[in-house]
Chain A
Amino acid sequence: MSERERKKRRQTAEAELVAEIASGSSEALAALYERYAGMLLGLANTVLHDRGEAEEVLQETLLQVWKQASRYDAGRSSVSTWLVLITRSRAIDRLRNRKVVRKTVTAAQHERHATYASPEGMSNVFMLERRRRLSDELNRLPREQRRVLEMAFFEGLTQHEIADRTGTPLGTVKTRTLLAMKKLRQALANEIEDLL
């Protein structure tokens, strides 16, 4: 079996896990948790800079998965992206509600690039490879493009807010964002194909 086939089977297996969750299998939810909890908690922690709140977001995310698994549409996103977007949405909602002063992108970036602390997290070779590939492609982006993308994703800022925050014209912000997204879309084509 080729690497591509293994990745495809993995995606199919994840969609089947969600289907099992929809039918009431807590074991399937536990399996999904084992696979993604570390990554999702890291995401929530990066957005919120608060470990306790990040853990609450992780709980809420997986509870939402339990409640709404039957509504997941495998034709519209991968399980991984579904989980990521739920987590991000919940974390950013909390961030906006508490109206804290956001830490700088530099600080967040520093945290994101910290050394991995969990051997269990490293055990997932698929995710490790995915992480490496993304990191490589992000590093290839011009600094301004990467910055707008990260501000949008991790801080939940809209294009208008990024323009205000950075003092950059809105059109320029949109152009930088679109260029970054299109480059990534092209560079990660193989990774994305695995997810489809």
Chain B
Amino acid sequence: MKEDMPISLEDEQILELLDSHDVERTCVRSSAREPSLDLDRGYVETWGLLAYDVAEAPPPPELKAKLLEQVRQHTSETSPNRTPVAARPLVPRWLLPLAATLVIGVSAWQVGKVQKQAAVIASLSQELEKARGDAAELAVARELAAETRTRLEMVTAATAEYCALKPTMGSPFQHARGILVMQTESADWFLRVEGLESDGERREYRLWFMTDAESILGASFVVTGRQDAVEVRASGVPTGTQGVMITMETVGSEAASSPQPVLYGDERMRLL
């Protein structure tokens, strides 16, 4: 047998068929990418028949079901009508860069807006703090105005009576002076004293209303340092008050237990 015979064009094509694994060129419709193999089809079928030289291998029963499931999945993935909603793109791809730009722009605008709002909030906070301070000052002023109005009404009332207080003989505060205004209808009273000084931490001053029968404690107060004046307002002028005195006593001591009168007044007068 000749082992090295001349090789014709058809022979080359047969060998090309055997060397190639490209099914595209053999069995599938010609494409522009791969020129088809121009070969006697009998050789293609001969080549294919060689597969019948092998023993059949019965596939397991589940293999068919698995294949059909794969086919079903492939169909549902490629069919536009069956595409699951979750798998569909929410927006066209071309819209994504535009959407990204829009998001960045909106974000920048939002950041600017937030920064402006933060500045406004800071400014309003300062104004609120100031307003709170102003409100506190206003409340104090209102209280002061109310007190002043009350005192003014008291001292200018037609029923107001006055009692001037002067230092007693032996009083250490010979330059001290005081005046007590009493409302005879309401029994309210108002005391203003000048010239009293602090005489130790455990000393306090007491105002006594003097009637024919007894001395009745009206109020007690302390003087801190050198105050220009002490003002006290309260209610409860005892009936039958003839005069008043201010004593300097020990803090917490019994009423009038060791009185030391420093100011005294026994003349009630009415100005209006």
Binding site for B on A (CB under 8 A): 24, 26, 29-30, 33-34, 37-43, 45-46, 51, 54-55, 58-59, 62-63, 66-68, 71-73, 76-78, 80-82, 84-89, 92-93, 111-118, 120-122, 127, 130-131, 134-135, 138, 142, 149-150, 152-154, 156, 158-159, 169, 171-172, 174-179, 181-182, 184-185, 188-189, 191-192, 195-196
Contact = CB atoms under 8 A, between A and B. Distances in A.
A89 to B, nearest CB: 4
B57 A41 contact: yes
Given A88-B51, A118-B58, A153-B50, A78 B45 contact: yes
B114 to A, nearest CB: 54
Q: Identify the 3 closest CB pairs spanning chains A and B, nearest first.
A: A81-B48, A121-B56, A118-B58
B56 A42 contact: yes
Interface of B: 1-5, 7, 11, 14-15, 18-19, 21-23, 26-30, 36, 40-60, 63-64, 66-68, 70-72, 74-75
A174 B55 CA distance: 27
A134 B49 contact: yes
Interface centre among B45, B47, B53 (most CB of A within 10 A): B53
B172 to A, nearest CB: 119
A77 B46 contact: no
Given A43-B54, A152-B18, A189-B42, 20 more contacts: A33-B67, A38-B59, A59-B70, A73-B30, A76-B28, A77-B26, A77-B48, A78-B45, A81-B45, A92-B21, A111-B54, A117-B55, A117-B58, A153-B50, A169-B4, A175-B5, A175-B7, A177-B14, A184-B49, A188-B46
Nearest to B3: A172
Given A76-B27, A175-B4, A185 B43 contact: yes
Contacts of B51: 39-40, 43, 84, 87-88, 153
A152 B59 CA distance: 25
A191 B49 CA distance: 9
Interface centre among B2, B18, B47, B72 (most CB of A within 10 A): B18
Contacts of A176: 3
Given A63-B70, A76-B27, A174 B7 contact: yes
A153 B47 contact: yes
A159 B174 CA distance: 141
B4 A178 contact: no
Contact of A192 (B21, B42, B54): B42
A174 B63 contact: no
B46 A59 contact: no
